[in-house]
Amino acid sequence: MDKDALASWALTNGWRLIAGHPSLTKPSAPNEAIVRLVLKATVANVEAKKPAGKWEKVAGAPYAQIESDPDGGLPRGLGLEAIPSIGMLMQENKDRMVFARMTAPARP
């Protein structure tokens, strides 16, 4: 996967751009990122926000080592599986995005 493919995957799976990075938020604070993907020129890093407010690198890999999952799941080689409950957090964020579209006022 390359930078654009990884960003596209993230945005279609419940992540949203916060401060220029695809990010996941807490259900109780939907505007504050707690997990983010930092997509650099040659490497992608997964960072988690510590309770003190600092970002800590949890995992990372060069784009050449990251492979898309044929079933649409988590990309292999990035280390997202190292984060407990990442699937549940992604689903909650994705559901929030879907329901936000359903309750949005109709555009004229």
**pLDDT digits over 28-57, tens only?**
888 889 999 999 999 999 999 999 989 999
Q: Is residue 31 part of a domain?
A: yes
pLDDT of 99 > 90? The answer is no
Q: Is residue 30 part of a domain?
A: yes
Q: Which residues of 14-43 are buried (b: 16+ CB within 10 A; e: fewer)?
A: bbbeeeebbbbbeeeeeeebbbbbbbeeee
Mean pLDDT of 62-71: 91
Closest CA to 76 of 59, 95, 94: 59
Q: Is residue 84 part of a domain?
A: yes
Q: Is residue 108 part of a domain?
A: no
> Token digits for 7?
């960003």
Residue 4's pLDDT is 94
CA distance 29 to 73: 25
Q: Band of the pLDDT at 107, cuts 50, 70, 90?
A: low
Q: Is residue 94 part of a domain?
A: yes
How many domains are there within the chain? 1
Q: Give residue 43's domain range.
A: 3-103
CA distance 83 to 93: 16
